[in-house]
Each structure stands twice: as C-alpha cells, then as structure tokens.
Amino acid sequence: MCSSPRILVTGACGQIGSELTLVLREKYGSENVVATDRRTATSPRLRDTGPFELVDVTRRETIQAVVTRYKIDTIYHLAAILSATGEQNPQLAWDVNINGLYNVLEVARQEEVARLFYPSSIAVFGPETPRDNTPQETILRPRTMYGITKVAGELLCAYYARRLGLDVRGIRFPGIISSETLPGGGTTDYAVEIFYAAVTHRHYTCFLRPDTVLPMMYMPDCIKATLDLMAADPSRLKHRTDFNVTAFSVSPAELAAEIQKHIPDFVCKYEPDYRQAIADSWPHTIDDSAAREEWGWQPEYDLPAMVVDMLEKVRAKLSCELVC
C-alpha cells in the first residue's frame, strides 16, 4: 500500500470508533476514511468530517456495497456487543460478533481487502486462566458469550490470515477508559461512568466490589496500540490476531481514591450486580511482552496521568454541553 489506504470503520459511533475514526481521518485524509454504523451518527465531529454510511454487519450486502463503492482496502472492524449486554442477550452477541465478523471477513476475501483490524478482549480468558500476569499463550475457556465469540473470532481471523492470505491483526484489549463517547454494555464501563458521576454529583454507586482489580488502558494508548500494530513490519509478527496488551491494573476503590485526590468530597459506594461474576472470571494483570517485542508496544498513560487528563476532558465536555 504505497498511496493512502482506503479505510472502512465498522461500529464508528462506538467508544473506540468515535475517536479512532477522527485520528485515521487526520492521518490519512478525511475522504479516505468511511465511518459506518448501524445507526446514524449524532456526533457532528464524526458526521461532518468525512463520509458516513449505514452498515449493519449482520447484513452482508450493506458491507459489500460500501466496500465496493469506496474501493476499500483496509477495515477496522469495531462493531460488537460487549460482555454485559452479551450476557443479557447471548443470541444477539453471537449474531453480531460471529455472523457479523464472518460477513466482514467474507467481503474482505472476495473484494481483496489487504488488511483488517480485529479487537479482541481480556474476555477470552476465564476462571481457569492464571489471573496474575496472564500469559500470551494460556487457557482460553471463557464463561461469557462475549468471551466465547472473541475466542472464536481470534481463531476465525487467524484462519483467514493463514489459509486465505488476509493480513488480519488483532489486540486483546483490557477495559478502555475514555471521555468522548460513553461505552455501552461492558463490565469495565464503571471506570468511565465514575468520572462523569464524580464531576457532576460527587457520588457514584459502582456495580463491582471495591477490590475487583482489572487491567485497563486510556483511549490515547488504545489508539496508539491499534495504529502501531497496523503499521508493524509483518516479518516481525509471530502472533497475529491475539496480542495481549495492557497499561495498568486498578480496582474501583483504587480508582475512586485517585479521583478523590482531585475531588476530595467524592464518595463511592458499592452495589455489585451480575457483572461481578463476569469481572471475577477475568485477569488481574496481563503479560504483554509479546506485543512489546514484536511491534514495540509501550503505553504512555499510567493511572495518575490518566485520571488528571480524564477529569480535565470530562469537565470541559460537561461545561461545553451546558453552554453549547
């Protein structure tokens, strides 16, 4: 790919898509990055900075039409149902995460798309996986439908890479913390909600126990990891679709304490619900040495730096919403 890639982003209105799309447009030119989602974009930044098309990944013809029309050669396939929604509607999770992925892969194969990004998750791990410093190569026996679809997705992507020559690359993301678009239906969503609640009400009721340590990452690092892996020299990649990555691990109580350093009267209470069982099946900390060795992965934000930046961004966003 010598000229600028022609990119399609599925799930562009979601937590990662809404930010990654803008960075890709900045990097490769607005006209070269087609944002797609099954609902119309409400964010003017997403809608007005480049092409936007309606695509429902469970309907293959909608993907096919956009790939053909825009001569797409690179896909970032972000459309997915996350862990908590997946437990409430496992049929939908299977349909979107497996049938949707299969549709994207088949269109990519038929239209000779060169490269595809696939976000996997720490949800591929399960209660039998070592929870501390979880290795790259380990037991993958998730108990959630979301985790099952992510393990199958990794394997399906690896099949298309090995058998059919599609250059698929994927990352097992931890919980992603960000300010632009609220996540929806995940178990790690508390780590975003807590900031909005702290700034607006000085109070948050967390749906996980205070001591539930999970791996996390701030959005700028999520975008950096995605771009770095997609730009990596393929001859250095021993893995393909399943890189462990992490930035820091934190529990709700530790995150609340870090926020209290900036908002001393912030109070966090705990009322664990069905999402606790999901979190209890996931790792505490992750070994991401393969990503570090094979494509130079290195996060920039630790917990304190993320909290400072998040509070600044959330305050700016909320005051703009009040004024604008």
Choose, by CB under 6 A, the member of 187, 212, 226, 244 that binds ligand AKB: 187
The residue assigned the tokens 């970032």 is: 76
Q: In the complex, what is the shortest distance from the CB of residue 34 to ligand AKB, in angstroms, rounded to a whole number? A: 25
Q: With respect to ligand AKB, which residue has the nearer C-beta, 41 or 286?
A: 286
Question: Among the candidate windows 45-53, 158-166, 180-188, 233-241, which touches ligand AKB by CB under 6 A?
Answer: 180-188
Q: Is 146 a catalytic residue?
A: yes
- Applying CB under 6 A, does 281 fall inside the site for ligand AKB? no
Q: In the complex, what is the shortest distance from the CB of residue 80 to ligand AKB, in angstroms, rounded to a whole number? A: 8
CB-CB contact of 160 with 109 (8 Å): yes
Distance CA 121, CA 297 (A): 16
Chain position whose Cβ is nearest to ligand AKB: 186
Q: What is the 3-state secondary structure (H, E, C) of 70-114?
A: CCCCEEEECCCCCHHHHHHCHHHHHHHHHHHHHHHHHHHHHCCCC
Fill in the per-residue mask, 117 to 136: x = in contact with ligand AKB (CB under 6 A), - = not in contact. Answer: ----xxx-------------
Distance CA 229, CA 81 (A): 23
Residues 6+ apart with CB under 8 A from 269: 203, 204, 205, 206
Question: Among the candidate windows 133-141, 186-194, 286-294, 306-314, which touches ligand AKB by CB under 6 A?
Answer: 186-194
User: Which one of the listed residues 146, 160, 204, 218 is annotated catalytic?
Assistant: 146
Q: In the complex, what is the shortest distance from the CB of residue 216 to ligand AKB, in angstroms, rounded to a whole number? A: 9
Q: In the complex, what is the shortest distance from the CB of residue 71 to ligand AKB, in angstroms, rounded to a whole number? A: 32
Residues forming a β-bridge with 4? none
Q: With respect to ligand AKB, which residue has the nearer C-beta, 50 or 174?
A: 174
Q: In the complex, what is the shortest distance from the CB of residue 243 to ligand AKB, in angstroms, rounded to a whole number? A: 14
- Applying CB under 6 A, does 186 fall inside the site for ligand AKB? yes
Pairing of strands 248-250, 214-218: antiparallel
Considering only residues 47 to 106 of the shown chain, the ones binding ligand AKB according to CB under 6 A are 82-83
Q: Tokens standing for 214?
A: 């999970």
- Applying CB under 6 A, does 178 fall inside the site for ligand AKB? no
Q: With respect to ligand AKB, which residue has the nearer C-beta, 263 or 277?
A: 277
Q: Tokens standing for 47?
A: 């809608």
Of 270, 257, 232, nearest to 307 by C-alpha is 257
Beta strand ranges found along the chain (DSSP E) = 7-10, 33-37, 52-54, 74-77, 115-121, 167-173, 175-177, 203-206, 214-218, 243-244, 248-250, 267-270
Interface size with ligand AKB, residues (CB under 6 A): 11
Distance CA 140, CA 244 (A): 13
Choose, by CB under 6 A, the member of 142, 175, 283, 299 that binds ligand AKB: 175
Residues in contact with ligand AKB by CB under 6 A are 82-83, 121-123, 146, 173, 175, 186-188
| Residues noted as catalytic | 146
